[in-house]
Structure 1
Amino acid sequence: MAGHSERYGPGVPKELDRYLVPSEEIVFLLRRHWVVIAEPFLTTLLGLVVLAAVGGYVGEAVSTVLTVGWLLLLSRLILVVWEWWYELVIATDKRLMLVHGIVTRKVDIMPMSKVTDMRYDRTVTGQVLGYGKFVMESAGQDQALSTINYIPDSDLHYQQISQLIFAPGEPRLAQKAGGRNSRVPVTEPEDAWWRRKD
């Protein structure tokens, strides 16, 4: 994922030039919420505390076993953080994508046109820490990408996806309200009093 996209500019990995069609417009690009790496981090930290507290009071063989066990926890943490860093969730005006995998890169796709319904779940922990889960339903067969969990700033991203799915012709939500690209759609009723010819 080294380098930046020539097509989309800074902040967008060069790798995405391979997967995105030139006419696609990126709506958002993100990594899953940091809570994904919280458990491995806390487990590794707890293992280090146990190793430091007990290591001096046990025999050399037990101390070696504890050290090897902690090194395995540390290796797991490094692998989880690496996977988290290289995993990207991308929404474009045409599809939702999940790019993941370290050795073998995989791209799961859900075309926006195939989505018939969408559910948005937020557990109590998700409400406190600021993440949610999207569950997409499509007509016909199962799609490669139907559930995305641990989406940060999920309220905003839910609104953006909903607007793409259920109101594709309307102007999209800008990242920040009142931003330079934000537009408010204005429609006038056909039978308004100023249009009547009495």
Structure 2
Amino acid sequence: MGGFLAWIGDPRIGRHLLRDEGEVVVDEVRHHWVSYLRPGFEGLVGLVLLVVSPFVHVNLAWAFLVAAFVLLLRGAWGVVREHRDRFVITNMRVFRVHGVLTQHLATMPLHRILDISVKKPLHGRVLGFGHFVFESAAQEQGLRDIRYVGRPDERDLAIQRVVQRSGLRGPRVPN
């Protein structure tokens, strides 16, 4: 069972790298723990319904069991979905891999990044997460909103450093 759980939980970032071109991972960003609260709560409610169901009238117990299994399944699916959703910063590009049964890969080369907005709602500032919004020259892009990023200011600086080191922005002018 450990092999299955490791397989289902690992999005295998390494297979998306251009190793023969010298691409290396600068940062692999997993979701902040806050993103697990909703699926965890659903699983907890499902567990409570499962425990309570033997004490309910037999004509109503089946509804409790069905609701419990649906909530447990939704909670487990949500946890795996959040765990497999990764945002990766490399020395050449940024990309996002997500999906459980089917996998979606969205890539943006560093030279296409025009602007990065970091949005930190009040509870995000308190708990240490934020959301990235990428702007590029493309009309349609699969890499626009990256939600629940832990330590967003550090991650933003890491992206800015990589872009600066790659020479895509002009040289720094000292004050």
TM-score (norm 1): 0.71
Q: Is the 8 A contact 2:49 2:65 kept in 1?
A: no
**1:16 and 2:18 aligned:** no
Q: Is the 8 A contact 1:117 1:137 kept in 2?
A: yes
Misfit runs of 4+, over 6 Å: none
Aligned residue in 2 for 1:175: none
Task: Evaluate the alpha carbon distance shift between residue 86 and residue 188 of structure 1 in structure 2; reply closer, same or farther with a 3 A threshold.
Answer: closer
Residue 128 of structure 1 is aligned with which of 126, 140, 143? Answer: 126
Opposite residue 109 of structure 2, the aligned amino acid is P
Q: Tell me the distance in 1 between the aligned counterparts of 2:40 and 2:174.
A: 55
Q: Which runs of 5+ in 1 are unaligned?
A: 3-12, 171-186, 190-198
Relative to its length, the structure with more helix (as a share) is: 2
Q: Tell me the distance in 1 between the aligned counterparts of 2:136 and 2:58.
A: 59
Q: Is the 8 A contact 1:55 1:66 kept in 2?
A: no
SS of residue paired to 1:159: helix
SS of residue paired to 1:40: helix
Task: Evaluate the alpha carbon distance shift between residue 21 and residue 45 of structure 1 in structure 2; reply closer, same or farther with a 3 A threshold.
Answer: same
Aligned residue in 2 for 1:60: 58
- Please report how far the alpha carbon of residue 86 of structure 1 lies from its aligned counterpart in structure 2 after TM superposition: 2.2
Q: Is the 8 A contact 1:136 1:146 kept in 2?
A: yes
**More displaced, 79-88 or 117-126?**
79-88
**1:42 and 2:41 aligned:** yes
Work out which of the two has the higher radius of gyration on C-alpha atoms and give 1 or 2: 1
- What whole-Å deviation, never above 9, does each CA across 1:123-172 have from its counterpart, x for those lacking one? 1111122111110111242222111010112121111112233x2358xx
Q: Give the count of matched residue pairs.
A: 160
Q: Is the 8 A contact 1:97 1:108 kept in 2?
A: yes
**More displaced, 36-45 or 145-154?**
36-45
Q: Is the 8 A contact 2:47 2:72 kept in 1?
A: no
RMSD: 2.5
- What whole-Å deviation, never above 9, does each CA across 1:13-34 have from its counterpart, x for those lacking one? 7933331112112110121112
Structure with greater contact order relative to length (CA < 8 Å, sep ≥ 6): 2
1:112-123 paired onto structure 2 within 5 Å: 112-123=110-121
Task: Evaluate the alpha carbon distance shift between residue 65 and residue 30 of structure 1 in structure 2; reply closer, same or farther with a 3 A threshold.
Answer: same
Aligned residue in 2 for 1:32: 31
Aligned residue in 2 for 1:82: 80
Task: Evaluate the alpha carbon distance shift between residue 70 and residue 130 of structure 1 in structure 2; reply closer, same or farther with a 3 A threshold.
Answer: same
Opposite residue 133 of structure 2, the aligned amino acid is V
